[in-house]
Structure 1
Amino acid sequence: MIGNWEDFGRDEPTRYFEFATSYLKASEDVCKRMNALEEENSWSNASVTLMLAAHSVELFIKGALIIRGYQDAWGHTIDDLYDKYKITFPEEYFHFDCPFVTEYVGFGSEEIAIKKKTKHPQASVVFRYPLNKPGLEWDAVHGFEANGFLSILSELGNNYNRLKESLNGL
């Protein structure tokens, strides 16, 4: 039998990194199944893959911020967490491409400022539920291609491994 007691007393960043890695591996497993079996290639499986990956990124960033002493890294907004990460770790070596940041393609700076003030549901929420509320679709259109996303997940895993070594040495 295994249990959460095995983690009692272990340092928090390591625990966050391990959970981030576990969520990432679970995302990869679903994505690989989608890629291998046509009957598994569904939007529900794509959503689960995306939700697991988004939560993985959130936990990884939180683990990194905890190493630098942040005790207020508890929001779920990846945009905000990643912005805080980039400020906290400005060195080029600590950069990684975050696949769940909001991009405002085709908008001017004033429009972007307005859009940033509007609260949007987070990826870990949007991809967790099939509907926003009963009878109400999400206000977005999402697409997914399993093979391409496997490459993103692989790169993310490589970045986690590279960064964990340096972060744990701080």
Structure 2
Amino acid sequence: MRTLHEALAQCRTLVVEGPDGIGRGALLAEVARAGFAIRHSRGHLHHVDPTRPYRELLSAPGRLAVDGGIIHELVYGPLRRGHSRVTWIQALDFAEAVAARNGALLQLARSGRAADAESAEAAEAYARAFRTLAQHAPVVTVAMVGTADTSGPEGPGPPIRTPDTSTHQRARYVRKLTVR
């Protein structure tokens, strides 16, 4: 799967992730028109198991799109607090759960240059995170035109441009467990 339209046609689950202010409203509206139920995180991450609310969302039947938060925490936690409340093991397990549900991660990326230092650092951190997660779940990169979302999650946002090919391809991953 290489484009947003292929993901909409082939996936049962989509996790939408991207930097602050990217303007995801138009994308979420398009995903909803394709028959996905849109679910947002319910606020702050759980203090013991930050991925639990997302795993609970993944247990719902039907086509589901989750307006992410786990990768956001991996990126902005270290930038803003010096650490992430989500571990890489938790993030990789979540990515595998998305893949097991016939899903993909949608990486929203800004077209053009970052407006400030934090935005540039966040863009680099997202790229690293998605490269790692692509070993566990399909990743489709969606280049977003514009940088601000002034409409909220349901209203119109900036136009969406889908690339011809994803910058990340799914790699097969098999976790080997040793029982002693």
The TM-score normalised by the length of structure 1 is 0.29
Instruction: From the two aligned structures, give the one with the greater strand fraction.
Output: 2
TM-score of the two chains, using structure 2 as the length reference: 0.28
